[in-house]
Amino acid sequence: MPGAGTAADPRIPTAQDLEVLSRQLGRPVRDVVEIPARCVCGNPLVAATAPRLGNGIPFPTTFYLTHPVITAAVSRLEAAGVMAEMSERLGSDDELAAAYRAAHDAYLTARRDIGERAGTGPVPEIDGISAGGMPTRVKCLHVLVGHSLAAGPGVNPLGDEALAAIAEWWTRDRCNCDGAWDTQGPVPSKDLSRHVKHLEAKAAAQEEADQAGERQS
């Protein structure tokens, strides 16, 4: 199902965007204020969270990669040891190190702008703190890729590198949403206790059994 993305400002999340995000992540999303990157079909790729959550807690990780195809591909890179290799190069390649520091600054500026648009005001608790290991290390490749998708090419050199490295599984110019997350079941909602989940699973299993029975009869 294609995403909405028809609002005047494509950054503003629609109700459908929030539903898709919850399905992509398998849990309800909260405090998402913008959709900074979308698939060519309109579905969210990245969710932007306000720098201060609704409960008052400061939140430094502004850009969260949500698309399961991309998160899985980036996890493959992490498992292959790409982060250690990148961190090493940051220590020896001055040009790369400078570009990465600039990415850190761009991240902070983008977060301030998002906070202003979202009306969360200044968040001094996280001044100078970005995410993903920036500005000198690589601790989470998903963060860097989320930043690259949100900012566009040429802002975060290591996020751009990671995107290039997953081209086999995902590229900006084609939609890979089909089958990437469950679009049929209920949207993950916030107040499911373990007990309720258990009951729901039982009910779902029963329903499936009933349907199977009907098909056979």
The mark string for 41-80 relative to Zn ion (x by CB under 5 A, - otherwise) is x-x-------------------------------------
Comparison of 20 and 144: residue with beta carbon closer to Zn ion: 20
Interface size with Zn ion, residues (CB under 5 A): 5
Look up residue 204 and give its two tokens: 């779902």
DSSP 80: T
**Residue 159's closest CA among 171, 151, 147?**
147
Dihedral angle over CA of 172, 178, 184, 186, nearest 10: -20
- Whether the CB-CB separation of 122 and 110 falls below 8 Å is answered with no
Q: Which stretch binds Zn ion (CB under 5 A): 91-99, 106-114, 122-130, 176-184?
A: 176-184
Comparison of 39 and 134: residue with beta carbon closer to Zn ion: 39
Nearest distance from C-beta of residue 44 to Zn ion, angstroms: 9
Residue with the two structure tokens 């989470």: 140
Q: Is residue 39 close enough to count as binding Zn ion by CB under 5 A?
A: yes
Nearest distance from C-beta of residue 66 to Zn ion, angstroms: 12
Q: Is 48 helix (H, G, I), strand (E, B) or coil?
A: strand
Question: In sequence order, what are the residues at sequence separation of 6 or more whose Cβ sits closer than 8 angstroms to the Cβ of residue 27?
Answer: 188
Q: Which stretch binds Zn ion (CB under 5 A): 35-43, 44-52, 74-82, 200-208?
A: 35-43
Residue ranges in contact with Zn ion by CB under 5 A: 39, 41, 43, 175, 177
